[in-house]
């Protein structure tokens, strides 16, 4: 099978953000996405952004156009959210985002009426119905198909960093899981999901697709659901490892990190240098550690098994690559990573709110809705609870 890799501008940025729709009072998820999408279809047809459905009818996905910079892509996302709010505000529906909803149950949710989703649920059954997960997808343009898998393999070293920064699913169906990102471990239960196979070349990827399509595992490359995957249609590498980010500045910061890493690795390849990789068993362990401990995880960062606190390694990486952030015109967004490292990820904030509210997860949902609206800070919200 020959799979063409589309032409794209080097290090260009595209963002996808999956958002929950919830009742503004109760915090329960509501199946209103079809109405929202229908109401926006005509008015947004010529916009750079899109608003589409997802697996469940409680979710809308907002997608940017192709941005020369992270800021341009984020502006598209902000415009999309404003458009969605023009419909949801009169409905009394609020938007929020996290890797999971703190208390919603899978059996109360409706699947979007599309063949691809019904096929997925028919095949995956209980695990498929449990996919109450929300994430972000970050696309970065790559200028040479021969760079794709070397960059993917190098990016995999930073998967735990991305998981830890975005961790926002400490609760699942009303229970405290003990994991910062429960979503990371749930999502990998789907066929073709999880860590990318350590392929070395585009031809190996084509062979992989041949094997998977000829045996009926998938129809085409769009059904590859790896944590990092090539997106041949767009000419990009797509990072899918992250939980849904709870705020737009956090989304921008993580997108900037991905853009800077991809550009760094691309420059290394241009200079004839080999990119860093680690053993697949280390990658697997790192993924679990980041899901369990978030920014408190110690991760394995090289072939020798050196272990470093993920926050410390991130700060060293930021210092080393700050000049590239300037070159990519994303220095402001890149610097936003420090706020996450200092204040904690969304999972940390959710757990603090739950503790302050004596475990009332309805308060966690209210916190997420307020935070998404850029409302009160965490400190203000805790004070409002009277604890």
4 found inside a domain: no
Q: What is the pLDDT of residue 386?
A: 52
3 found inside a domain: no
Q: What is the pLDDT of residue 113?
A: 86
State which H helix or E strand residue 249 sits in: helix 248-270
Burial class (CB in 10 A: 0-12, 13-18, 19+), 45: exposed
**Domains contained in the chain, number:** 1
The phi, psi pair for 307, rounded to 5°, reads -115, 130
In the chain, the N- to C-terminal Cα span, in Å, equals 61
**pLDDT digit of tens for each residue in the chain (387 aa)?**
899 999 999 999 999 999 999 999 999 999 999 999 999 999 898 999 999 999 899 999 999 999 999 999 999 999 999 999 999 999 999 999 999 999 999 989 998 888 888 888 898 888 888 889 999 999 999 999 999 999 999 999 999 999 999 999 999 999 999 999 999 999 999 989 999 999 999 999 999 999 999 999 999 999 999 999 999 999 999 999 999 999 999 999 999 999 999 999 999 999 999 999 999 999 999 999 999 999 999 999 999 999 999 999 999 999 999 999 999 999 999 999 999 999 999 999 999 999 999 999 999 999 999 999 985 455 555 565 554
Q: Nearest Cα to 165, choosing from 359, 265, 296, 18?
A: 296
Considering the entire predicted model, what is its pTM? 0.95
- Domain ranges, residue 35: 13-384
7 found inside a domain: no
**3-class DSSP assignment, residue 381:** helix
158 neighbors 167 (Cβ within 8 angstroms):
no
8 found inside a domain: no
348 found inside a domain: yes
Q: What is the pLDDT of residue 383?
A: 61
Rounded CA separation 96/264 (Å): 33
280 found inside a domain: yes
262 neighbors 152 (Cβ within 8 angstroms):
no
153 neighbors 276 (Cβ within 8 angstroms):
no
Q: What is the pLDDT of residue 379?
A: 57
**CATH code, 190:** 3.30.590.20
Rounded CA separation 88/350 (Å): 24
DSSP of 90-130: HHTEEEE--SS-SS--GGGPPBPS-HHHHHHHHHHHHHHHT
Rounded CA separation 101/364 (Å): 9
State which H helix or E strand residue 237 sits in: strand 236-239
């Amino acid at each position: 099978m020959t799979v063409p890799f589309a032409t794209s501008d080097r290090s260009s940025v595209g963002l996808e953000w999956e958002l929950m729709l919830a009742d503004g009072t109760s915090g329960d998820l509501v199946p209103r996405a079809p109405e929202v999408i229908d109401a926006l279809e005509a008015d947004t047809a010529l916009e750079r952004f899109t608003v589409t459905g997802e697996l469940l009818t409680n979710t809308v996905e907002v997608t940017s156009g192709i941005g020369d910079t992270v800021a341009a892509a984020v502006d598209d996302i902000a415009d999309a959210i404003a458009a969605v709010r023009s419909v949801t505000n009169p409905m009394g529906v609020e938007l929020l985002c996290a890797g999971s909803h703190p208390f919603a149950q899978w059996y109360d949710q409706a699947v979007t009426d599309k063949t691809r989703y019904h096929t997925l649920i028919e095949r995956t059954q209980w695990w498929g119905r449990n996919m109450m997960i929300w994430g972000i997808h970050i696309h970065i343009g790559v200028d040479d198909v021969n760079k794709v898998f070397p960059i993917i393999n190098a990016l995999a070293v930073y998967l735990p960093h991305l998981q830890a920064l975005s961790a926002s699913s400490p609760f699942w169906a009303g229970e405290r899981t003990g994991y910062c990102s429960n979503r990371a471990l749930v999502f990998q239960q789907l066929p073709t999901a999880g860590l990318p196979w350590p392929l070395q070349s585009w031809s190996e990827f084509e062979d992989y697709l041949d094997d998977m399509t000829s045996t009926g595992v998938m129809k085409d490359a769009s059904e590859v659901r790896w944590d990092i995957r090539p997106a041949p249609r767009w000419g990009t590498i797509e990072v899918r490892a992250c939980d849904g980010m709870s705020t737009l500045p956090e989304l921008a910061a993580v997108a900037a990190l991905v853009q800077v890493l991809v550009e760094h690795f691309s420059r290394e390849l241009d200079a004839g240098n080999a990119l860093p990789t680690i053993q697949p068993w280390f990658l697997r362990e790192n993924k679990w550690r980041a899901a369990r401990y978030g920014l408190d995880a110690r991760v394995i960062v090289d072939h020798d098994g050196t272990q470093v606190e993920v926050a410390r390694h991130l700060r060293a990486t930021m210092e080393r690559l700050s000049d590239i952030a300037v070159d990519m015109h994303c220095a402001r967004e890149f610097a936003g990573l420090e706020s996450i490292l200092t204040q904690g990820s969304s999972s940390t904030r959710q757990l603090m709110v739950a503790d302050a509210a004596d475990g009332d997860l309805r308060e966690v949902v209210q916190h997420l809705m307020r935070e998404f609206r850029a409302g009160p800070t965490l400190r203000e919200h805790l004070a409002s609870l009277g604890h």
